[in-house]
Amino acid sequence: MDRGHVEKVVIEVIVGIHADLEVECPKIDKKTRVKELEKFDSQLWPVAISRISEKLKVPIPLEELVFCDRDKNIRSIDEAVGALMEIIEKQPKQKASK
């Protein structure tokens, strides 16, 4: 899966969550740190992971660390995309349907 596509989906999901909460969303790019995003905290991360999983059509277990690392350091969008790429690459390859 293309990293650029994953980044686009992550940003779309975060922007969508901000819209759902009716809060202004700042301009987001890969350097944006997740902690800079108003109201987008660890309580909303499972919602985001679920939506990302749905859009990418890839199972992402909710216990996977996407938006922070094991030491609870909050990641940037680029770092979160990197974590997602690792998760996606671990997935068994699906056979093409005929």
What does pLDDT average to in each consecutive run of 10 residues of the chain (98 residues)?
A: 96 96 93 92 95 96 92 96 94 57
To which residue do tokens 């989906």 refer? 9
Q: What is the pLDDT of residue 54?
A: 97
- The helix (run of H) or strand (run of E) holding residue 9 is helix 3-21
Q: What is the pLDDT of residue 38?
A: 84
What CATH number does domain 3-90 carry, 1.10.1530.10, 1.10.1200.10, 3.40.50.10790, 3.40.50.2300?
A: 1.10.1200.10
The two tokens of residue 64 are 């996977």
> Which residues does residue 76 pair with via DSSP β-bridges, in sequence order?
33
- Dihedral pair phi/psi, residue 56, rounded to 5°: -85, -10
Q: What is the pLDDT of residue 35?
A: 92
Q: CB neighbours of 41 closer than 8 A, spacing ≥ 6?
A: none
Cα distance between residue 62 and residue 54, in whole Å: 12
Q: Which of 81, 88, 86 is nearest to 67 (CA)?
A: 81
Domain limits, the chain: 3-90
